[in-house]
Amino acid sequence: MTQLNSYETASVPVLFDMDGVLLEGRRSRPGTYATATDRAIDELGMEPDGPDRELLREYRCDEAVEAICDAHGVSLSEFWRLKEVKASAVAREQFQTGERQFHNDAAAAVTTAKNRPSAVVSNNRHKTVDFITNRHPIGEAADVVRGRDPTPTGFHRRKPNPYYLTETLEKLGVDTGVYVGDRQKDVLAAHRAGLAGILLARPAHSDTSADAEAGDAEAGDADLLQPDATIASLTELETSLAAIVGEH
């Protein structure tokens, strides 16, 4: 799937997911988007009824959301941008109060990231990813930090779409490498971007082997869902990289 034979283990580019890999918790905390939506609605002066408010609070950006926004004289892009801003503010509050912390083995990622092309690429909002990584040595070690753009288009470019991974490879000036994620959709996105995919299957994440959302994989993508290696901790990463580079 990838061509890594031009690299030594110590120089192969490595990209990391954030949530579940570096940061505890595989997704934004429960209630993040509900709180963000309520704050955005209040600021925009929208007054949706109960069912419409609940729909807007969900983690979705689609025609149903747009229809509600239109009914209140607000564009989807305006609502979504503000919801993303508010969600990032909530995430900062959660991090600052200790609700979310870095995994203890994130230090191993820092060691790996140094002295090689490296990046953090997450489905999370870019402002959140930038804020959190800059409060850990990984923020200095990584050459590129990338989260999703605060637009409807940015939302739909999330993994398993390889858009942000491909963009990051271009910024790093390389055409392949290894992506470390904790979900099958991370592996799928990695392979679509021409990267090897390492699945971090932490013991606490019992559902890592079957969590590709419906519609993630297309016909013929079965092989792309299979990781090039599976590890239980970031402390195993260097050994895994050596094995992958050797195989390619």
| CA–CA gap between residue 185 and residue 191 (Å, rounded) | 10
Rounded Cα distance, 85 and 153, in Å: 16
Q: State how far Cα 39 lies from the chain centre.
A: 24
> 46 Cβ partners below 8 Å, 6+ apart?
69, 72, 74, 79
DSSP code for 29: P
> Which percentage of the chain shows pLDDT scores above 90?
82
pTM of the model as a whole: 0.92
pLDDT tens-digit map of 48-103: 999 999 999 999 999 999 999 999 999 999 999 999 999 999 999 999 999 899 99
| Helix (H), strand (E) at residue 180 | strand 178-181
What is the C-alpha to C-alpha distance for residues 29 and 20, in angstroms, rounded to an integer? 12
Looking at residue 216, its pLDDT comes to 62
Burial of 219 (C-beta count, 10 Å sphere; 0-12/13-18/19+):
exposed
> Residue 181: pLDDT above 50?
yes
Give the C-alpha distances (Å, rounded to integers) separating 150 from 40, 92, 123, 166: 14, 16, 11, 18
pLDDT tens digit string along 217-236? 665 678 899 999 999 999 99
Which one is predicted more confidently, 204 or 72? 72
DSSP codes joined into one string, 105-151: THHHHHHHHTTS-EEEEEEEEHHHHHHHHTTSTHHHH-SEEEEE-SS
DSSP state of 212: P
